Amino acid sequence: MSALSQSVPTAAWSDRRAAFALPDEVIYLDAASKAARLIAVQDAAHAAIDAGATPWLTPHAAWMAQIEHTRALAADTLFGGDVDGVAMVPSAAYGLATAANTLPLRRGQCVLVLEGQFPSNLMVWQQCCARVGAQVLAAQPVGQETLTDAVLRMVERTPALGIVSLPHCYWHDGQVLDLDRISAAVHARGSALVLDLSQSLGVLPLALARWQPDFVVSVGYKWLLGPMGLSWLWAHPRWREQGEPIEHHWIARDAGQAWEFPIDAPPPYQPGARRFDAGGISDPLRLAMAAAGLAQLQHWQPARIAAELGRVTTALDAALQTAGLAAWITPGHAPHLTGLRVPAARLEAVAQAFSAHQIFYSRRQGGLRLAPYLTVDPAQMARVVEIAAGAR
């Protein structure tokens, strides 16, 4: 294996807190915006920058091997080992645009999303629908409905449903969608299913065999512990032979040993979803950082991470109950992502108290989004509630 693609050190589970370049006094609850930096990822970045100063020492074959090594790590860690299903893209928005560019959508059909869905998974469908004369519809709970209930109602009642594009959990407050029920309903309608798992992949399990999505996308810098600028796309086998990529560049093509690009026709695509690889995305710096993050994720295992983060957010909810703040709890939230439903009259005071105590979070939809990672323990979450309860 080349120096670019060799294995990187991984931290033991018992050393998970110390694996991050994070000061002890910080309570970082904003992994849903950007993960705290792993020391191993930072070291990999420095090594890649140093290697880039002597490009003549890195053979072309070593770079190609680094690309496939990183792709295989992503496949093994996240996509059930389906390496031919994985493409490298610069952003979730790019991956969603690839799905929109590939999936058939006809005039008069509808694309279903969530009300308040992340803009990258909304604007691409608005543009697509405007181009072909289709319509974007939003699922929004009514009364006591859950998000899942609202989606299922819209799937059942929407005529000419062409595409359903959803997350696994809501980016504002972590409410989880039941993708087992939703995917079954979508496929029963003969509709396409696109999943933006930027706020769940790496923690919540991805059930490709059960859900049978057409496309899955995720950024790499949140729960996958990697850099910005390298994201992931998985394509169903049907689209690996039929899909049309957004751009056409040389790495996505198999030009053979002679590396020839005839004027009359381009070389065939590389196998599988590699046809969707974006140009310029295989930067050795980003590859090195992504591989280091994925290697650590693979070592710790998403299921164990989910269990630990569930212990942390369960402690949060229990402390809120004890403090008489049960109304602040988001019901049905994911183990790693939740929201404090703070009354408007107290929101600013709580926000200021968090800032004063170096508690980092995001404001979302009138509440405070809390997204802990393995740097946070239950005792710290109890302290967060104590600070929130005392803010007036």
* pLDDT on residue 104: 96
Instruction: Look at residues 17, 13, 101, 1 and name the one whose alpha carbon lies nearest to residue 299.
Output: 13
Lowest mean pLDDT among 5-9, 60-64, 167-171, 268-272: 5-9
Whose tokens are 């959508």? That residue is 105
β-strands 367-370, 135-139 pairing: unpaired
* pLDDT on residue 200: 98
The pLDDT-based confidence of 7 (bands split at 50, 70, 90) is low
Amino acid at position 18, single letter: A
Whose tokens are 């803010």? That residue is 391
Q: Rounded to an integer, what distance in angstroms lies between the CA atom of residue 300 and that of residue 290?
A: 15
Token pair of 251, please? 């790495």
Phi and psi based region of residue 63 (left: phi greater than 0; alpha: psi -120 to 50; beta: remaining): alpha
Q: Is the pLDDT of residue 4 over 80?
A: no
47-57 pLDDT tens trace: 999 999 999 99
Q: Is the pLDDT of residue 156 over 50?
A: yes
Q: What is the mean pLDDT of the chain?
A: 95
| Structural domains of the chain, with CATH | 64-299 (3.40.640.10), 302-390 (3.90.1150.10)
Instruction: Look at residues 243, 208, 222 and name the one whose alpha carbon lies nearest to residue 120.
Output: 222
Token pair of 55, please? 């490009």
* pLDDT on residue 5: 39
Angle at 369 between CA 364 and CA 371, to 5 degrees: 140
Q: Is the pLDDT of residue 258 over 90?
A: no
* pLDDT on residue 366: 86
Print the SS3 string covering the chain: CCCCCCCCCCCCHHHCHHHECCCCCCEECECCCCCCCEHHHHHHHHHHHHHHCCHHHCCHHHHHHHHHHHHHHHHHHHCCCCHHHEEEECCHHHHHHHHHHHCCCCCCCEEEEECCCCCHHHHHHHHHHHHHCCEEEEECCCCCCCHHHHHHHHHHHCCCEEEEEECCECCCCCEECCHHHHHHHHHHCCCEEEEECCCCECCECCCHHHHCCCEEEECCCCCCCCCCCCEEEEECHHHHHHCCCCCCCHHHECCCCCCCCCCCCCCCECCHHHHHCCCCCCCHHHHHHHHHHHHHHHHHCHHHHHHHHHHHHHHHHHHHHHCCCHHHCCCCEECCEEEECCCHHHHHHHHHHHHHCCEECEEECCEEEEECCCCCCHHHHHHHHHHHHHCC
Amino acid at position 361, single letter: Y
* pLDDT on residue 2: 36
276-321 pLDDT tens trace: 999 998 899 999 999 999 999 999 999 999 999 999 999 999 999 9
The pLDDT-based confidence of 244 (bands split at 50, 70, 90) is confident
Phi, psi of 117 (to 5 degrees): -65, 155
The count of other CB atoms within 10 Å of the CB of residue 58 is 16
* pLDDT on residue 235: 98
12-70 pLDDT tens trace: 999 999 999 999 999 999 999 999 999 999 999 999 999 999 999 989 899 999 999 99
Lowest mean pLDDT among 7-16, 74-83, 338-347, 370-379: 7-16
Q: How many CA atoms lie within 13 A of 160 on its CB side?
A: 12
Question: Which residues does 140 contact at the CB level (< 8 Å), separation at least 6?
Answer: 114, 115, 116, 150
The pLDDT-based confidence of 365 (bands split at 50, 70, 90) is confident
77-127 pLDDT tens trace: 999 999 999 999 999 999 999 999 999 999 999 999 999 999 999 999 999
CA-to-CA separations, 62 to 74, 191, 255, 292, in angstroms, rounded: 18, 42, 18, 17
Angle at 221 between CA 20 and CA 195, to 5 degrees: 135
